[in-house]
Amino acid sequence: MAKVTSLGGILFKSDDPKAQNEWYKKHLGLQTGDYGTTFIWRKHAHPEQTGFTVWSPFSNNTQYFAPSEKSFMINFRVDNLDELLAQLKEQGVQQVGEVQDYEYGRFAWIMDPEGNKIELWQPLDNEPSDSLGNDITGLDH
C-alpha cells in the first residue's frame, strides 16, 4: 500500500511574498530565496541520505492552489505516487489536474473533504542536498 512518508512543505498565500521572505530572514534567520526556504534533514533509516521540507510564500493572486479557495496548501512526500493515486481513486478521492514531472520529482494534487488542495510529491532518488532556491521553476508564485 502506498502512503505519505513525511511532510514535503508548507505553501501559503501572502500579500507580499518578497517581504515575507525578508521578514523571516531578518527575524527568524531563515535562509530565504525567491521561493522561500528549504529545511534539510537526514533520513532516519538511511542517515547518509538527505531529504528536505519546503516553506514557500506565494502571491495572493496565484492560481496554483485552485480550485481551493484556501490560503494554504500542504505538500506531502509519498513513496509511490501512481499507486497512491490509484488507491485514492478507488476510495472516491478527487484528483485535480494531471500528474506533472520535474527534475526534482513527480507531483499530483487531490482535494480533501473541506476543499483543501493537497499536493502529493514523489521525490526523485537523487534529491538535491541544498536549498531549492531558483530550482523550482514550475511553481506559479
CA 56 to chain CA mean position, Å: 8
Give yes or no for residue 138 having a pLDDT over 80: no
- C-alpha cell of residue 71: 490560503
117 three-state secondary structure? strand
As a three-state string, the secondary structure of 27-63 is HHCCCCECCEEEEEEECCCCCCCEEEEEEEEEECCCC
Contact between 2 and 87 (Cβ < 8 Å): yes
126 CB burial (10 A radius; 0-12, 13-18, 19+): exposed
| Domains of the chain with bracketed CATH | 4-133 (3.10.180.10)
pLDDT score of 72? 95
* pTM for the structure as a whole: 0.81
Rounded Cα distance between 47 and 5, Å, is 15
Contact between 106 and 100 (Cβ < 8 Å): yes
pLDDT in tens, 34-90: 889 999 888 888 888 888 899 999 999 999 999 999 999 999 999 999 999 999 999
Contact between 80 and 122 (Cβ < 8 Å): yes
